[in-house]
């Protein structure tokens, strides 16, 4: 099939998932057309079936806010016309679903019906989407999609709770390429971070408020007092300066490394003994799943969709949002003894296999076929 994928090209989970989906579909012989304002960060290497179409947003003195959505809809129309796309799959409702609706309407005038699938990722519903600045457009454009998917049962329920959605929402869980994340840890890298064999605790996020990065640091400090450890923080965002300041005030800078945005997550995750994700909300927690695939157990909150991927006491532990003490105790329970840590590591890898890319991609392909066939039925 010829498939258009629209996403944020950044390090955020929705962009990562959309890019990995496109790459996997291309490997299966589909032609994938990414439509976005920048080359997606995970879109590296060459594939004969992958095309990237940049959305250009010309500036003009009149515009305080250049109209990205208009430029995006126009680029969608152009790509659909010239590359004969069978469908558009947009990731993150804002503003992608609304732009797709506009493109669909324009093409309808020419007698072409392009099916639109919208995948909801989390904050497009639970945080940004429900803000009344966006809500009417978000609800309308989700309802206008030919098919809607959500990355967890929890997000599906949240969407029905938040908006009047008139169609079913299919849950297609996020996935991970387990084989790619099954790496032998690079000893030299481990040694640089933990020269005296300390445990390595990892957190990776976009450092937004919802991630509660300060809780990561508090949990780490409590753990480090009883089991010598190092904390590796990957990613960047608005909460990072505050988190760095907090480490300075606590006097733990020697044990904490902020490494910023990183490409080779599989190398980094391979050296982690534990992944911390104390978020206020996670629709799914893709970073936690990738860590599990790399053999890192997870200590997180029980918010949102996290209970759908973490089995309590088996591949990690969950506690209530803000319950730093329980999270620290859980982390120590896993990290104190090598035997127990290894049990959790094996269980994390085993659990991640349920969400392996090879199990989930066919669910998207089936959906694509359904929407494409229903278009043919209407046309016939
Ligand atoms: O919060 C992020 O990390 C970014 C955000 C995004 O849309 O880029 O992530 C959301 O989508 C991810 C992929 O489906 C999920 O794994 C994250 O849980 C979700 N974030 C939240 O719900 C806060």
Do 15 and 162 lie in a common domain? yes
Cα 302 to Cα 307: distance, rounded to the nearest angstrom: 6
Q: Judge whether residue 54 has pLDDT over 90.
A: yes
Determine phi and psi for 189, rounding to 5 degrees. Answer: -70, -45
Q: Is 19 in the pocket of ligand 1 (CB under 6 A)?
A: no
Do 283 and 252 lie in a common domain? yes
Do 132 and 210 lie in a common domain? no
Cis peptide before 298 (omega within 30 of 0): no
Q: Is 286 in the pocket of ligand 1 (CB under 6 A)?
A: yes
- Partners of 150 in the β-ladder: 120, 171
Ligand 1 centre distance from Cα of residue 323 (Å): 22
DSSP assignment string, 148-217: EEESSHHHHHHHHHHS---S-EEE----B-HHHH-----HHHHHHH-TT--EEEEEES---GGG-HHHHH
Ligand 1 centre distance from Cα of residue 287 (Å): 9
Strands 116-120 and 274-277: unpaired
- How many CB atoms within 10 Å of residue 228? 14
Cα 360 to Cα 1: distance, rounded to the nearest angstrom: 18
Ligand 1 centre distance from Cα of residue 17 (Å): 9
Helix or strand (DSSP H, E) at 282? none
Count of structural domains within the chain: 2
Ligand 1 centre distance from Cα of residue 227 (Å): 31
Do 158 and 212 lie in a common domain? no
Whether the CA torsion 291, 295, 300, 306 is positive or negative: it is: positive
Q: Mean pLDDT of all residues in the chain?
A: 96
Do 265 and 171 lie in a common domain? no
| pLDDT category of residue 380 using cuts at 50, 70 and 90 | low
**Structural domain of 232:** 178-353
Do 47 and 34 lie in a common domain? yes
Contact residues for 98 (Cβ-Cβ < 8 A; gap 6+): 69, 137, 138, 140, 141
Do 10 and 140 lie in a common domain? yes
292, 315 contact by CB (below 8 A): yes
Mean pLDDT of 296-317: 98
Whole-prediction pTM: 0.95
Do 364 and 343 lie in a common domain? no
- Atom nearest to 155 CA in ligand 1: 22
Contact residues for 213 (Cβ-Cβ < 8 A; gap 6+): 203, 205, 207, 233, 239, 240, 242, 243
Q: Judge whether residue 67 has pLDDT over 90.
A: yes
The pLDDT assigned to 376 comes to 66
Cα 14 to Cα 3: distance, rounded to the nearest angstrom: 17
Q: Judge whether residue 11 has pLDDT over 90.
A: no
Ligand 1 centre distance from Cα of residue 158 (Å): 14
- As a 3-state breakdown, the chain gives helix, strand, coil percent values, each rounded to 5, of 50, 15, 35
Q: Is 9 in the pocket of ligand 1 (CB under 6 A)?
A: no
Mean pLDDT of 285-306: 98
Do 210 and 254 lie in a common domain? yes
Do 155 and 301 lie in a common domain? no
Mean pLDDT of 21-33: 97
89, 120 contact by CB (below 8 A): no
Q: Is 151 in the pocket of ligand 1 (CB under 6 A)?
A: yes
The pLDDT assigned to 287 comes to 97
Q: What is the pLDDT of residues 92-111, one digit of tens each?
A: 999 999 999 999 999 999 99
Q: What is the pLDDT of residues 222-252, one digit of tens each?
A: 999 999 999 999 999 999 999 999 999 999 9
Determine phi and psi for 74, rounding to 5 degrees. Answer: -65, -40
- Residue of 380 and 307 predicted with greater confidence: 307
Ligand 1 centre distance from Cα of residue 285 (Å): 7
What strands, in cross-sheet order, belong to the sheet with 147-150?
50-54, 31-36, 2-6, 87-91, 116-120, 147-150, 169-171
The pLDDT assigned to 202 comes to 98
The CATH number of residue 366's host domain is 3.40.50.2000
31, 49 contact by CB (below 8 A): yes
| pLDDT category of residue 38 using cuts at 50, 70 and 90 | very high
Q: Is 77 in the pocket of ligand 1 (CB under 6 A)?
A: no
| pLDDT category of residue 345 using cuts at 50, 70 and 90 | very high
Q: Is 159 in the pocket of ligand 1 (CB under 6 A)?
A: no
Q: What is the pLDDT of residues 113-165, one digit of tens each?
A: 999 999 999 999 988 888 899 999 999 999 999 999 999 999 999 999 999 99
| pLDDT category of residue 378 using cuts at 50, 70 and 90 | low
Ligand 1 centre distance from Cα of residue 205 (Å): 9
The pLDDT assigned to 374 comes to 85
- Atom nearest to 287 CA in ligand 1: 16
Residue of 90, 152, 283 with the most ligand 1 atoms within 8 Å of its CB, for mutation? 283
| pLDDT category of residue 377 using cuts at 50, 70 and 90 | low
Q: Is 123 in the pocket of ligand 1 (CB under 6 A)?
A: yes
- Atom nearest to 284 CA in ligand 1: 18
Do 17 and 165 lie in a common domain? yes
Q: Among 254, 266, 185, 249, which residue's Cα sits nearest to residue 224?
A: 254
Do 145 and 226 lie in a common domain? no
């Amino acid at each position: 099939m010829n498939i258009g994928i629209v996403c944020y090209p950044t390090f955020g989970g929705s962009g990562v998932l959309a890019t990995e989906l496109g790459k996997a579909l291309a490997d299966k012989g589909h032609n994938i057309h990414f439509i976005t304002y920048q080359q997606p960060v995970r879109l590296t290497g060459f594939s004969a079936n992958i095309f990237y179409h940049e959305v250009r947003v010309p500036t003009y003195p009149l515009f305080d806010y250049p109209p990205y959505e208009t430029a995006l809809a126009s680029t969608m129309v152009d790509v659909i016309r010239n590359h004969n796309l069978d469908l558009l799959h947009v990731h993150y409702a804002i503003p992608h679903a609304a732009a797709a609706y506009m493109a669909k309407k324009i093409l309808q005038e020419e007698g072409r019906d392009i099916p639109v699938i919208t995948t909801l990722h989390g904050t497009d519903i639970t945080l940004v989407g429900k803000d009344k600045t966006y809500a009417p457009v978000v609800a309308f454009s989700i309802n206008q999609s030919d098919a809607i998917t959500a990355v967890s049962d929890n997000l599906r329920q949240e969407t029905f709770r938040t908006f009047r959605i008139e169609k079913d929402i299919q849950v297609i869980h996020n996935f991970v390429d387990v084989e790619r994340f099954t790496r032998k840890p690079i000893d030299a890298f481990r040694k640089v971070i933990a020269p005296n064999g300390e445990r390595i605790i990892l957190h990776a996020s976009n450092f937004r408020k919802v991630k509660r990065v300060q809780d990561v640091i508090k949990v780490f400090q409590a753990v480090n007092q009883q089991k010598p450890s190092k904390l590796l923080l990957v990613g960047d965002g608005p909460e990072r300066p505050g988190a760095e300041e907090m480490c300075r005030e606590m006097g733990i800078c020697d044990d904490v490394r902020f490494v910023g945005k990183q490409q080779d997550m599989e190398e980094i995750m391979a050296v982690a003994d534990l992944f911390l994700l104390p978020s206020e909300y996670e629709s799914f927690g893709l970073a936690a799943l990738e860590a599990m695939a790399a053999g890192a157990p997870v200590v997180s909150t029980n918010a949102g969709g996290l209970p759908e991927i973490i089995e309590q006491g088996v591949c990690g532990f969950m506690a209530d949002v803000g319950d730093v003490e329980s999270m620290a105790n859980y982390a120590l329970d896993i990290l104190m003894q090598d035997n127990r840590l290894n049990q959790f590591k094996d269980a994390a890898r085993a659990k991640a296999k349920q969400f392996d890319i090879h199990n989930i991609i066919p669910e998207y392909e089936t959906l694509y076929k359904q929407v494409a066939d229903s278009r043919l039925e209407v046309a016939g």
